[in-house]
Chains A and B, each alone.
Chain A
């Protein structure tokens, strides 16, 4: 048997080859961004007339008093978007602020920080990551400071550590050296076992660790003062949802969330703010369709490869990034549901 070190050497693709792959991916992105843009336009934000702020190249909408949301693009990571393809938010208390997700590179994370600083100079007491995906965590680095805690689900550290190498390598490939420079994986310094309350001074955030859904480390953040719930990637709108956890878990969580009536929810990908239960409608329809099609194909004795060609195809055209993620979603759904 060979040693892990040897395996590592063998497993790592050569730089030239990864560049080739990255170039191929970039080409496909630029082709598809036209479609993504068109779809993004058709998805109207459900909360309109929000004050907008643009500072340091970073746009925010104040969706509720003291609640600022930046909307990322519906794209894959690229040198052009520098990892700015998810939503990032911050909440301002009397004494301090909390940041929720930091986007997908150190550079764009630094822009986020500069954008926040253009609005408030209060100390950043918490940086909360809603889950482990690179487009939400790779911007953490620039927020490192005395007195800043990095907060996540109790399984976030394990999830990130197991994937650190892969995430960094693939992000570097996709972003290119320039946009990737300085990006690092930071493990949380404060873990949420079940439920934790954070105090920003006259304003409390409630953090709740979820069971497996989008990933196995999804965290929901509630700003009790304004009734704003940050769902992270438990809510996609416009951008096709992606599955890296459990389809059954996610659908059952959607059922629970539908019973809530907060003032607004903030998706991980989608408009700045939306309203329940309508906000969950498209996502629920997508996953119910995928689950229904896949279950039927399994019952008919069909194979995974057949399922990737037909399951959920009625959703084509309804989402940005469908071509990039849908077949992968079906694969994950099939591998999960065939064990029912």
Chain B
């Protein structure tokens, strides 16, 4: 899906974007200048349909804490069939692609609202956009503007000692739907990880803390893939994903997350009450 090395987009904006960031100031706060080159970088010349209702995005208008900005991407029930992929892009962040997600057979193919929620850092006033690829290969996009500043260079965690002590701890929870026979259920994955992005100052050396962040997450229900996410430094510390997936008797999830070291972290949810069918 990426016509460039996707690694460069996840870990840091390509030079063109950096230059554009510098040049785009002092434009109006809600300028849309970063997108054309980003779009070319990520999707090449593929057409993108905007605002056709296939995908919706929720984000606060003003982020009170720019280091923890909740974002929810939604695909309404009217959209049928499986989704191929979903990307979350923050135009003006140093690494704009926060996550690129590929869905598997256990992701569910409709019958309700499909959702993917996470928390991101937002470095300056920026558009935040979601792009999904439907079964037919078409790209659908929606964007929203978020007023935030300083999220990427936001400093050390509030309790530095306890954060580093719990690194890699994972919580995976699957929630029982209100109606047992509903086609989709919801789960949450939380990973204790500082997700350092190379922009925080090390107080001792006065240099920058080297980037160490979760770069991939794979979620399975039994042998079936729910999704595989490539994630970047725009994801907030203690990565958090809340998502819908196909409801079935076997609903326990297993999660494998790998950071840039690379260290592998694994987690699993318990089997929640079985579905009566």
Contact = CB atoms under 8 A, between A and B. Distances in A.
B64 interface: yes
B155 interface: yes
Contacts of A313: none
Given A1-B11, A17-B124, A166-B153, A7 B208 contact: yes
Contacts of A245: 158-159
Report the contact-size class of chain A (Cβ under 8 Å from the partner).
35 or more
Contacts of A303: 70, 72, 117, 242
B94 A14 contact: no
Contact of B159 (A157, A165, A216): A216
Interface string A309-340: 00000000000000000011001100110110
Report the contact-size class of chain B (Cβ under 8 Å from the partner).
35 or more
A252 to B, nearest CB: 14
**Interface residue SS majority, chain A:** helix
Contacts of B202: 162
A308 interface: yes
B14 to A, nearest CB: 10
A328 B68 CA distance: 9
A4 interface: yes
Contact of A335 (B58, B68, B197, B206): B68
Interface stretch (B17-25, B40-48, B76-84): B17-25
Given A1-B11, A1-B211, A339-B192, A16 B25 contact: yes
30 contacts: A1-B11, A6-B12, A10-B13, A11-B152, A13-B150, A14-B25, A17-B124, A17-B125, A155-B160, A159-B160, A159-B203, A162-B155, A162-B203, A163-B156, A165-B153, A212-B158, A216-B160, A216-B161, A245-B159, A246-B159, A246-B162, A301-B175, A305-B117, A308-B60, A328-B65, A331-B64, A332-B68, A335-B238, A338-B190, A339-B238
Interface of A: 1-2, 4, 6-14, 16-18, 20-21, 155, 157-166, 169-170, 212, 215-216, 243-246, 249, 301, 303-305, 308, 327-328, 331-332, 335-336, 338-339
**Nearest 9 interchain pairs by C-beta:** A16-B26, A161-B203, A14-B25, A4-B208, A305-B70, A327-B64, A328-B64, A162-B156, A163-B155
Interface of B: 11-13, 18, 21-22, 25-26, 29, 58, 60, 64-65, 68, 70, 72, 94, 117, 119, 123-125, 149-150, 152-156, 158-162, 166, 171, 175, 186, 190, 192, 197-204, 206-208, 211, 238, 240, 242
